[in-house]
Structure 1
Amino acid sequence: MATAPANPVRFSPSVEQHRPEEDETVTTLKDTFKTILDTTSSNYGHAVRGVHAKSHGIVTGTLTILDGLPPTLAQGLFAQPGSYEAVLRLSTAPGDILDDAVSAPRGIALKVLGVPGDRLPESHDGDQDFLMVNGPVFGAPTPAAFAKNLKLLAATTDKAEGLKKAWSATLRVIEGALEAVGGKSVLLSQLGGTPEVDPLGETYFTQTAYRYGDHIAKFSLKPVSAALTERTGDKVDVKDRPDALRDVVRGVMIERGGTWQLCVQLCTDLDKMPVEDPTVLWDEKLSPFVPVATLVVEPQLAWENGVSEDQEDRLSFSPWHGLAAHRPLGSVNRARQDIYQFSAEYRSRANGCPMHQIKALEDLDA
C-alpha cells in the first residue's frame, strides 16, 4: 500500500496569490506565441503547436488506479480503483520541428479518457490531462519571467538549423561543465543545453502545483518496466539522424511497450514547498513522490507516417483539461490557461480543422 505523509497541507483558495501584472503578461505571451506560430505555419504550410511541436511518438494504453490508497491519496481521479483508456505523447520543447541534434527538454502529455466528476470550465467532457517535462522545476518563477524566456526561444524559431545545431552543442558543453561542479541552469537547458538523453528512460514532472482534492500536489511519471529503466541516462546518437528520438521510441514500443508509475507529491509545508514559485524544488525528504496509478502501454507502432500526423491534429492538451479536483494552481498555470487555448484555436483556424474531442481511443483514428 502506498504511504502518504501524515500532515499534508489542506487546499484553500488562499494558497494562490494573484499578481497585478498577470493580465498584461498573458497578452505578451500570446503575442510571442503568435510570432512563433506565424513563423512555423508559414514555413511548414501547416500549423503546429506553439511549444512541444515535434512529437517522437503517440501511444495508447491503460491507466489503472491503485487499490487501497489511503484517504489523503484517494482524491479526485484517484478516489476509486479502476482503469481508464489513455493517450501518451512524447515530444521536445521548441515550437519548431527540428533535427534531433538540436537538443531541448523532453516532454510528455498524458490524456486520461472517460473520467467522471465535476470538471473545470475549459475542460473537454471526460478527459484529464497531465503535462510534464523531464526536470522537477520550472525555468521561471513568474509568468513575466517566463515571457522573457519565451521571447529568447521565439528569437531562434526561424534561424538556420545548422546554426542551431552548433549553438546547441556549445550549450551542452557549458551545461555539462556546470553539472560537473554541482550546478545546473534551467534556462541553458531550455535554450538547447539539454543532454541528448533517451526520452523513454526519463522521469517527468508537472513542475507546477495542482489541487489534489482536499490537498495540494505535484505529479510525476516514472518509468518502471525494464524496457524503459534500462535506457535511463542513455545518450542517443543523433549524428546524421534528424528523427533519432522517433526511431528510438518506435523501436522500443513496437517490440516491448512500457510501464510507468504515475506518482503524487503532497505539499506538507507552504513555505518550503510554495505554490506560486515553481522554480523552488519540493524536497522529497519532506514529502516523497508516492505511486497512485500505473500506465501500461502494450507493444504497438508509436509513429506511422501519414497516420500519426493526423492524430497530432486531433489531439490538444492543456493543464486545464480535467477535474475541478485537480485544478492547476499558481500564476504560471493561470497564464497557461489562456495561452494553451490560444495555441489550440490558432492550429484549428489555420488548418481549417476544428479540434476533435477524443472521448475514446477509437476516436483517435476516426
Structure 2
Amino acid sequence: MPGAPVRYSPAVEQPQADEDKTIGQLEEQFDIVQHTTARDYGHAVRAVHAKAHGIVRGRLTVKGGLKPELAQGLFARPGVYEAIARISTQPGDILDDSVNSPRGLALKVIGVEGERLPGSEGDTTQDFILVNGPVFGAPDTKKFLANLTLLAKTTDRIEGVKKALSAVLQPIEAGLEAIGRPSPNLQQLGGAAPVHPLGETYYSQTAYRFGDHIAKFALFPVSGGLTKLTGSHVHTSGRPDAIRGAVNEELIEHGGTWELRVQLCRDLDKQPVEDATVEWTADDSPFEPVATLAVEPQLGWEPMASGKTDDALSFNVWHGLAAHQPLGNVNRARNDPYRRSADFRGRTNGCPMHEPKALAEVP
C-alpha cells in the first residue's frame, strides 16, 4: 500500500550552485528562437509550443468530499471556476502538422483567490502546463539548456528537411516505445507519434507544492468522445493544419470532459523533486481525481479570431497560488524565461499581457 504523503518543506529543493548562470543562458536561447521567428513571420510567437491547434473555454469544478491530503490549495473546498485551455505542439516555429512532436495542453483557471506566488500578486489565475508524456525531456537545467540550444539551432531551417526527418524518426521512436524505451529527444526532433491531441493524457511532468504536501498533476480524458480518440492518429499528409481540423470536428459535435488528477509524493527517493526524468509510478502513488474540466460544444479554432485570443494569452507555472509553488530546478528555470518570452510577444505584437479576472476579458 502507498505510504503517507511527504510533508512539504523548503528542504525538498536543492538548487545548483550555478543555476542562475544556466537560467541566463536559457533566456538567451529563448531570445534567439523568438527573434528568428518574429523576423520570419512579422509577428512574435512563443519560444516553445508556438503553434496552437485549439483554444477552448470551459469550467473547472473542484470535487466535494475530498480527503484531507487532497483538499489543499485550489482544491481545499468545492467550487466552480472559469477556465481556458490551449492545445499545442512543442516547436518554437509554426510547422506543417506532418512534423510530429509532443502535444501540450496549457490550462488557465480563473477566479482563484489566495496567497500568490511572487510575480503574480494581484492576479486570480492558476496555470497548469501539461504535456502528453509522464516525464520531462531533461533531468536538470543544464540538460534543459542543451536541448533548447539544439532547438534554437534548428529554428528557421528548411521545413522540408524537418518533414523528412520526422518521417524517418517516427518508426524508430515507435519501435522504442514498443519495447518500453521511448526517447524524449527523438520525440522533440519530430519522432513523436501523430496522435490525436483530444485523446491524450497530459502530465505536469515536474513536481509542485500541494499545500502541506508535494504532487504532480495530470489531465485525463473521460468523456466517450475523447476516450475513443485515445491512441488514434491524425492523418496529416497534404494537410498542414490537419490537427486544427481534427480538434474542431470533435469539439463542435461533442465538447469534452477531462478529470484533473493529483499524484502525491510518498517517497522522495523513488519520487524525486529535482530530477524530472524519473517517472512517479502508479504503484508508488496513484493519480487521484480532484476536479473536472468540462468544455461545451464549440469550435476549437476559428481563423483570425483564435489567433487574437492566442496572442492575448500567456501561460506560466509561476502564475498561481503559493500553495502550488513549482518545485525543482526545471521549474525554477522556467520562471524568468517564460515571463521574458511573454513580454517580448506583448511588446512586438502591441498586445501587452495581463492576467484575466474573468473569461469575458479574453478576446
Q: Same fold (TM over 0.5)?
A: yes
Q: Secondary structure at the match of 2:171?
A: helix
Instruction: Answer yes or no: is the 8 Å Cα contact 1:262–1:291 preserved in 2.
Output: yes
How far residue 181 of structure 1 moved from its aligned partner, in angstroms, is 2.8
Q: Which amino acid aligns with 1:199?
A: P
Residue-by-residue CA offset, 1:61-97 (whole Å, 9 max, x unaligned): 0100011000000000000001000001100001011
Instruction: Answer yes or no: is the 8 Å Cα contact 1:107–1:132 preserved in 2.
Output: yes
Name which of 59, 65, 76 aligns with 1:79.
76
Structure 2 partner of 1:122? 119
In the alignment, the residues of structure 2 paired with residue 180 and residue 38 of structure 1 have an alpha-carbon distance, to the nearest angstrom, of 39
In the alignment, the residues of structure 2 paired with residue 43 and residue 288 of structure 1 have an alpha-carbon distance, to the nearest angstrom, of 45
Structure 2 partner of 1:298? 296
Structure 1 partner of 2:109? 112
TM-score normalized with structure 2 length: 0.98
Structure 1 partner of 2:137? 139
- 5 Å-filtered alignment, 1:59-70, equals 59-70=56-67
Name which of 27, 31, 36 aligns with 2:33.
36
Residue-by-residue CA offset, 1:295-318 (whole Å, 9 max, x unaligned): 000001111111111101110100
In the alignment, the residues of structure 1 paired with residue 299 and residue 175 of structure 2 have an alpha-carbon distance, to the nearest angstrom, of 38
Q: Which stretch has the larger CA shift, 205-214 or 246-255?
A: 246-255
Q: Secondary structure at the match of 1:192?
A: coil
How far residue 352 of structure 1 moved from its aligned partner, in angstroms, is 2.2
Structure 2 partner of 1:90? 87
- 5 Å-filtered alignment, 1:177-256, equals 177-256=175-254
In the alignment, the residues of structure 1 paired with residue 181 and residue 211 of structure 2 have an alpha-carbon distance, to the nearest angstrom, of 35
Q: Secondary structure at the match of 2:275?
A: coil
How far residue 349 of structure 1 moved from its aligned partner, in angstroms, is 1.5
Q: 1:161 to 1:74 in 2, by over 3 A?
A: same
Q: Secondary structure at the match of 2:189?
A: helix
2:66 is the alignment partner of 1:58: no
Instruction: Answer yes or no: is the 8 Å Cα contact 1:314–1:357 preserved in 2.
Output: no
Q: Which amino acid aligns with 1:357?
A: E
In the alignment, the residues of structure 2 paired with residue 50 and residue 210 of structure 1 have an alpha-carbon distance, to the nearest angstrom, of 23
Structure 1 partner of 2:325? 327
Instruction: Answer yes or no: is the 8 Å Cα contact 2:2–2:283 preserved in 1.
Output: no
Q: Which amino acid aligns with 2:82?
A: E
TM-score normalized with structure 1 length: 0.97
Q: Secondary structure at the match of 1:322?
A: coil
How far residue 9 of structure 1 moved from its aligned partner, in angstroms, is 0.1
Structure 2 partner of 1:16? 13
In the alignment, the residues of structure 1 paired with residue 11 and residue 52 of structure 2 have an alpha-carbon distance, to the nearest angstrom, of 38
Instruction: Answer yes or no: is the 8 Å Cα contact 1:10–1:214 preserved in 2.
Output: yes
How far residue 5 of structure 1 moved from its aligned partner, in angstroms, is 5.3
How far residue 6 of structure 1 moved from its aligned partner, in angstroms, is 5.2
Q: Which amino acid aligns with 2:360?
A: E
Instruction: Answer yes or no: is the 8 Å Cα contact 1:69–1:292 preserved in 2.
Output: yes
Q: Which stretch has the larger CA shift, 181-190 or 332-341?
A: 181-190
Structure 2 partner of 1:149? 147
Q: Which stretch has the larger CA shift, 99-108 or 179-188?
A: 179-188
Q: Secondary structure at the match of 1:168?
A: helix
In the alignment, the residues of structure 2 paired with residue 16 and residue 195 of structure 1 have an alpha-carbon distance, to the nearest angstrom, of 34
Tell me how many residue pairs correspond in the alignment.
362
Q: Secondary structure at the match of 1:172?
A: helix
In the alignment, the residues of structure 2 paired with residue 148 and residue 130 of structure 1 have an alpha-carbon distance, to the nearest angstrom, of 24
- 5 Å-filtered alignment, 1:165-180, equals 165-180=163-178
Runs of at least 5 residues in structure 2 that lack an aligned partner in the other structure: none
Name which of 69, 87, 99 aligns with 1:102.
99
Q: Which amino acid aligns with 1:197?
A: V
In the alignment, the residues of structure 2 paired with residue 74 and residue 106 of structure 1 have an alpha-carbon distance, to the nearest angstrom, of 29
* Aligned-residue RMSD, C-alpha: 1.1
Q: Which amino acid aligns with 1:37?
A: Q
Q: Secondary structure at the match of 2:68?
A: coil
In the alignment, the residues of structure 1 paired with residue 34 and residue 69 of structure 2 have an alpha-carbon distance, to the nearest angstrom, of 42
2:314 is the alignment partner of 1:316: yes
Q: 1:291 to 1:5 in 2, by over 3 A?
A: farther
Instruction: Answer yes or no: is the 8 Å Cα contact 2:201–2:221 preserved in 1.
Output: yes
In the alignment, the residues of structure 1 paired with residue 271 and residue 134 of structure 2 have an alpha-carbon distance, to the nearest angstrom, of 13
